[in-house]
Amino acid sequence: MAMTDPIADMLTRIRNAGLAKHPKLDVPSSNIKEALASVLKDLGYIKNFKNISDEKQGVLRIYLKFDEDNQHVIHEIKRVSTPGRRIYVGKDEIPMVKNGLGCAILSTSKGLMDDAAARTAQVGGELLCTVW
């Protein structure tokens, strides 16, 4: 059966693997998932990721990050814009997540970026997810 929202699937896999204390997880690879993993790595929510090629579309292996108490660094990761209900925000409407403790990830005309980078670049876009 075809998957209708692969980004939500990736976020759910990250959430579930963190709750189960798995050190790594594998998701089917795509360009947008790789860009999303890159933003999460730059923000410090995951340790690292790598793209493993196979005979199909490839696998994106994500290494999760835990604190000194062995708690997952990501407390909450939520999908905002879905295929059935797209949420777009202008440059002045980018939300603050948990008063700046978290971040929002946007798909802009300049690529995927977090809310602080989008405010600096003065661009809006589709609000993909929020993380804290």
13-69 per-position pLDDT tens digit: 999 999 999 999 999 999 999 999 999 999 999 999 999 998 888 999 999 999 999
Structure confidence by residue, pLDDT tens digits, 97-109: 999 899 999 999 9
Per-residue confidence band for 2, with pLDDT thresholds at 50, 70 and 90: low
Give CA–CA dist 28/95, Å, rounded. 29
Structural domains of the chain, with CATH: 6-64 (3.30.1370.30), 77-131 (3.30.1490.10)
- Give the count of alpha carbons within 13 A of 70, CB side only: 4
In order, the DSSP letters of 55-84 are SSS-EEEEEE-B-TTS-BS-S-EEE-SBTT
Q: What is the DSSP letter of 132?
A: -
Q: Which H helix or E strand runs over 39?
A: helix 31-43
CA dihedral 109, 112, 116, 118 (to 10 degrees): 0
